């Protein structure tokens, strides 16, 4: 990232999963004072990008300019005599002799201070970095225009870093073919369970306490690749164990299965996807035809929508599934008969549609039917965590 920032005229395309620290990385390297943080969801017109940057810098959108000019005053006399002109000594004139003096005239005009040119005057070739987060949230019909402006801005010395999720990492390239070969592409990955484990390990070490290794590993697996969730789980466990400050002497803490389950459920309340999950579980309204139901290994009954959700909840947690993987998972959660391939495909399509309809400015899940065999991606790890750790799916089975 440091090398990329020192490369002139080259916008950076930073790709990585949601909630995995892309912003923290950029902020740490660039510095809070030099980071102009913009979100793709804020861009609704091509000019919004520059207006937001100028607003961040508290730059006026118009500038008043004063101009001074002089005007000659020429007295003329055809007879002999004396004439006095204000500000000039008394003159003796005669015949057609004339004399001039100057009067000052001031005028004020206003010019616009907007757009790329205004931003360029302020921050070109400076330490400031424009961080355009979630580029994929910019409406598709604007992405090409914004991409063109980023290219022009980079050539004028404005430093840009554009962040997106992995399956949309080429949006900035698609938006303008001229950017191919000019961008510096940096790809971050999902956090591994080993890296997540280190969060708990180092945190409890700093508190001078011992927590069973199996508990930290469990939390690392349940964090669904998110360091934020791992931190939240460890914090909740500290609350449940009344561990609120570091210990002077080494101390061992035991976490029972009930304590672990409570920490998982309490942490799931940090985000609320209950309305969306209820809609996904219910599916679209039917018109007179009852959906076929199946029996599941959790002793519940339900239709293809419940089968898909149970498959997404199954171990091990994953952020992306191809169609074949999902069918295998559905087979493991069904006791005998399972939904047909066409009903599974339709259910996944509808589930993704509900997420887009209820959260239009936030990508939560995505069903890509254009892939070779279809791919279902969970964009927001908090959704998968909520799905797995809350009691809502169990409650919905009992109420259906």
**Domain locations in the chain as residue ranges:** 2-58+116-187, 193-268, 274-399
pLDDT of residue 392: 95
pLDDT of residue 67: 60
Alpha carbons 263 and 250: distance in angstroms, whole number: 23
pLDDT of residue 77: 47
For residue 331, which of 323, 322, 339 has the smallest C-alpha distance?
339
Alpha carbons 187 and 166: distance in angstroms, whole number: 8
Q: Is the pLDDT of residue 265 over 50?
A: yes
Beta partners for residue 376, in sequence order: 321, 367
Mean pLDDT of the chain: 86
pTM for the full predicted model: 0.73
pLDDT of residue 85: 46
- pLDDT band per the 50, 70, 90 thresholds, residue 89: very low
pLDDT of residue 63: 61
- Which of 35-39, 140-144, 165-169 shows the highest mean pLDDT? 35-39
Q: Which CATH number fits domain 193-268: 3.30.428, 1.10.8, 2.160.20, 1.10.287?
A: 1.10.8
Alpha carbons 82 and 302: distance in angstroms, whole number: 113
Beta partners for residue 378, in sequence order: 365
Alpha carbons 259 and 263: distance in angstroms, whole number: 6
pLDDT more than 90, % of the chain: 62
pLDDT of residue 169: 55
Q: Fold for domain 2-58+116-187? A: Rossmann fold (3.40.50)
Question: What mean pLDDT comes out for the span 340-364?
Answer: 91
pLDDT tens-digit map of 208-218? 999 999 999 99
pLDDT of residue 360: 84
- pLDDT band per the 50, 70, 90 thresholds, residue 188: confident
Residue of higher predicted confidence among 299 and 112: 299
Q: Is the pLDDT of residue 81 over 60?
A: no
């Amino acid at each position: 990232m440091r090398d990329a920032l020192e490369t002139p005229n080259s916008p950076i395309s930073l790709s990585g999963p949601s909630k995995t620290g892309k912003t923290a990385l950029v902020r740490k390297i660039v510095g809070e004072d030099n980071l102009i943080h913009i979100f793709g969801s804020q861009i609704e017109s091509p000019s919004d990008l520059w207006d937001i940057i100028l607003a961040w810098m508290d730059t006026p959108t118009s500038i008043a300019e004063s101009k001074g000019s002089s005007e000659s005053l020429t007295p003329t006399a055809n007879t002999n005599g004396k004439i006095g002109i204000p500000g000039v000594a008394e003159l003796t004139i005669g015949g057609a002799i004339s004399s001039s003096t100057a009067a000052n005239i001031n005028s004020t005009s206003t010019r616009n201070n907007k757009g790329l040119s205004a931003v360029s005057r302020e921050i070109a070739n400076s330490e400031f970095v424009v961080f355009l987060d979630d580029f994929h949230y910019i409406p598709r019909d604007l992405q090409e225009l914004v991409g063109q402006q980023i290219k022009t801005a980079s050539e004028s010395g404005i430093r840009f870093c554009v962040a997106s999720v992995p399956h949309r990492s080429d949006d900035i390239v698609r938006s303008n073919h001229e950017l191919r070969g000019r961008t510096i592409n940096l790809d971050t990955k999902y956090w591994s369970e080993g890296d997540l484990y280190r969060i708990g390990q180092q945190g409890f070490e700093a508190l001078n306490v011992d927590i069973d290794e199996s508990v930290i590993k469990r939390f690392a697996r349940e964090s669904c690749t998110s360091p934020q969730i791992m931190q939240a789980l460890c914090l909740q466990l500290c609350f449940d164990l009344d561990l609120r400050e570091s210990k002077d002497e080494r101390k061992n803490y035991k976490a029972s299965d009930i304590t672990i389950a409570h920490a998982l459920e309490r942490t799931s309340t940090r985000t609320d996807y209950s309305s969306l999950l209820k809609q996904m579980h219910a599916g679209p309204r039917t018109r007179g035809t009852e959906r076929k139901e199946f029996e599941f290994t959790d002793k519940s009954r339900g239709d293809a929508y419940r089968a898909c959700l149970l498959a997404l909840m199954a171990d091990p947690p994953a952020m992306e599934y191809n169609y074949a993987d999902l069918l295998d998972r559905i087979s493991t959660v069904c006791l005998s008969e399972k939904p047909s391939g066409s009903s599974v495909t339709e259910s996944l399509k509808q589930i993704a549609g509900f997420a887009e309809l209820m959260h239009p400015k936030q990508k939560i899940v995505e069903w890509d039917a254009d892939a070779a065999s279809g791919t279902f991606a969970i964009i927001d790890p908090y959704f998968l965590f909520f799905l797995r750790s809350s009691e809502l799916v169990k409650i919905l089975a009992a109420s259906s």
